[in-house]
Structure 1
Amino acid sequence: MRPAVRETYGPDDLSRAPIFAGGFINFGYWQAIDLSGPLGEAERVRSQEDLYRHVLDAAGLGNDPAVLEVGCGLGMGCALTLREYGPAAVTGLDVHPEQLRRARGAQADLLRDEPGRLRFVQGAAERMPLPNGGFDAVISVEAAQHFPDLDAFAVEAARVLRPGGRVAVASFFTVDDAPGRPEEMAKLLETYANGLDIARPVTALTDAFRAAGLTGARVESIGPHVWQGWDRWLSQWWAPGTWPRNFLRAYEERILDYYVVTAARP
């Protein structure tokens, strides 16, 4: 585990921060939310749930699928999947033992009331302690920016998918691999400067999927439905010009964008 990931998701529960209301830790998908009016916790939680819904829809779940979430955090997305999509089973994988401890606490009722349908497993995206061909869908929501090796993640995703299974990843990437992009991101955003997030173009993920034998790799920009809402929410705590507000700036300057990337195992 990289030090920045260990420290960020370790002793302090990041999901308790007001910006991540409801236990989720993502920027949100704000398409269905009126950004001209007041934003409260209900709207914030809706944005985070809607990001999961968008990814799960992109994964094209069939009947009674087995779903794996890579980078599950507190398992809020796993719980939403069980509640709304009727899978046979959901596995939440996370590299951080503290996050898994919190997940088992946050989802204690589901673990007790629906035994066998939900489980949590510790492991890295690049080395999943899971069997070959065990899942119909692999999803990952706002975690891939932390993965040190996208090629290894793609190989593992292909390995654990059944034939015909699909992978759907939501995360933010640079729009291209122009020289100096990592340095630009480090100047704009503290999470790149401290090593928590890794500056890579979205093509690094599609290329990794293709090299791993996955087919039909598709990239969807959802930046118009992420960055404005995220910045509007952040404005309650941070003034313009502070580093968290630079996510929108990086998007507007065509340096960074938010994507959903999908592919399938033949």
Structure 2
Amino acid sequence: MTNSERRPGPAIRPAVRDVYGPDDLSTAPIFAGGFINFGYWRALDLSGAIGEAERIRSQEDLYRHVLDAAGPPDRASVLEVGCGLGMGGVVTLREYHPATVTGMDIHPDQLRRARATHADLLRREPERLRFVQGAAEDMPVADAAFDTVISVEAAQHFPDLDAFARETARVLRPGGRVALASFFTVDDAPGRPAQLAALLETFANGLDIARPLTALTSAFGSAGFTQVRTESIGRYVWQGWDRWLDRSSWGPGTWPRNFLRAYEEGILDYYVITADRPG
């Protein structure tokens, strides 16, 4: 471990600290499999019964979609920003065969759980997988250390997208790419944050931050990235998520189901964003 990895842990926003703290959110039935994301349901049949296997598949497929957008990570060094329990890192190692995967998360409890969950793999292949504590805006890694940076459903928590973009540019090697999945407002209309706070508890309590997609794309442009591309995938996220909730205690009109409502009302969408660091 380097000296930079031993430095004091970054400050954690209260809502993030509480939600990802001692109570392991990944064990909540609406997630399953150790992942914490809404899922990418394009390949799944939503007309039939949806069980835990389909739910886990949706979450793995979201990682696959991001990794495909990142380009072939074969033999690459990959950094995941906001790794949670590290389940996506294991999918990356198993299916995409990078040289290394570094999972970074701001929350020490998440990292403790990640190291415990993947203890056998860490013992078998310590040179290929590691976990470090760090903030998206202040990454404890060297300049030009990675070929690929990914982030799956974490950017809605990042307080400073400009700092995240600058740090991503710093840690990527020339010719590297960042690929990110998260949800943003569809435009910068002034009333969007209030609309989302009225519909969704996570925006009301500050866990998620309401910002337009252009806040991130502009941040990447200002940080020197080129070929900034966006893909709307809301139609493959929110309907499957809502269909999955049919089997839960979250009935119509409850806040987890209002994600679909916010999407259908043209307030919120889910995106995959990629950007290249010039070679």
Instruction: Give me the TM-score of the superposition, normalised by structure 2.
Output: 0.94
CA distance in 2, matches of 1:31, 1:228: 10
In the alignment, which residue of structure 2 is the partner of 1:85?
A: 96
Alignment match, 1:126:
137
Q: Matched residues in 2 for 1:166 and 1:109: separation?
A: 30
- Does 2:251 align with 1:239? yes
Aligned equivalents of 2:226 and 2:198: distance in 1? Answer: 36
Equivalent residue number for residue 84 of structure 2:
73
Give the equivalent residue in structure 2 for 1:250: 262
1:228 counterpart residue number: 239
> Hey, what's the Cα distance between the residues in 2 that align with 1:30 and 1:109?
30
Distance across 2 between alignment mates of 1:97 and 1:115: 19
Alignment-derived partner of residue 9 in structure 2:
none
- State the distance in 2 between where 1:144 and 1:225 align: 19
The 8 Å contact of residues 67 and 73 in structure 2, kept in 1 or not, is answered as: no
Amino acid aligned to 1:252: E
Query: Deviations along 1:74-103, whole A, 9 cap, x unmatched?
Result: 000001100000000000000000000000
Residue identity in the other structure for 2:15: A
Aligned residue for 2:172?
161
Aligned match for 2:61, one of 32, 39, 50: 50
Match of 1:173 in 2: 184
**For structure 1, which runs of at least 5 residues remain unmatched after alignment?**
none
SS at match of 1:220: strand
Runs of at least 4 residues off by over 3 Å: none
Query: In the alignment, which residue of structure 1 is the partner of 2:193?
Result: 182
1:205 aligned counterpart, secondary structure: helix
What amino acid is aligned across from residue 251 of structure 1 in structure 2? Answer: Y
- 2:150 aligned with 1:139: yes
Aligned residue-pair number: 266
Q: 1:132, 1:161 within 8 Å by CA — same for their partners in 2?
A: yes
Q: State the shift of 1:235 in Å.
A: 2.1
Tell me the percent identity: 77
RMSD: 0.6
SS in structure 1 of the partner of residue 247 of structure 2? coil
Other-structure match for 1:30: 41
Are 2:160 and 1:149 equivalent residues in the alignment? yes
Whole-angstrom distance in 2 between the partners of 1:235 and 1:161: 41
Q: Alpha-carbon deviation of 1:63?
A: 3.6
SS at match of 2:243: helix
Using a 3 Å threshold, how does the CA distance of structure 1 residues 39 and 63 change in structure 2: closer, same or farther?
closer
Q: Which amino acid in 1 is paired with 2:269? A: D
One-letter code aligned to 1:145: Q
Matching residue within 107, 113, 116 for 2:127: 116
Q: Give the TM-score of the pair, scaled to structure 1.
A: 0.99
Identify which of 106, 115, 120 aligns with 2:117: 106
Question: 2: CA distance between counterparts of 1:63 and 1:38?
Answer: 35
Hey, what's the Cα distance between the residues in 2 that align with 1:64 and 1:205?
A: 28
Contact 2:226–2:276, Cα closer than 8 Å, also in 1: yes
Q: Which whole-Å CA distance do the structure 2 matches of 1:235 and 1:202 have between them?
A: 29
**Does residue 265 of the first structure (1) align with residue 272 of the second (2)?**
no
Query: Where in structure 2 are there 5+ consecutive unaligned residues?
Result: 1-11
Distance in 2, matches of 1:171 and 1:146, equals: 10
Code of the aligned partner of 1:2: R
User: Within 2, Cα distance between the matches of 1:239 and 1:190?
Assistant: 15
Question: Match of 1:9?
Answer: 20
1:179 CA displacement: 1.3
> Is the CA contact (8 Å cut-off) linking 1:61 and 1:136 kept in structure 2?
no
For residues 144-194 of structure 1, give each alpha carbon's deviation from its aligned partner in whole angstroms, at most 9, with x where no partner exists: 000000000000000000000000010000000001110110000000000
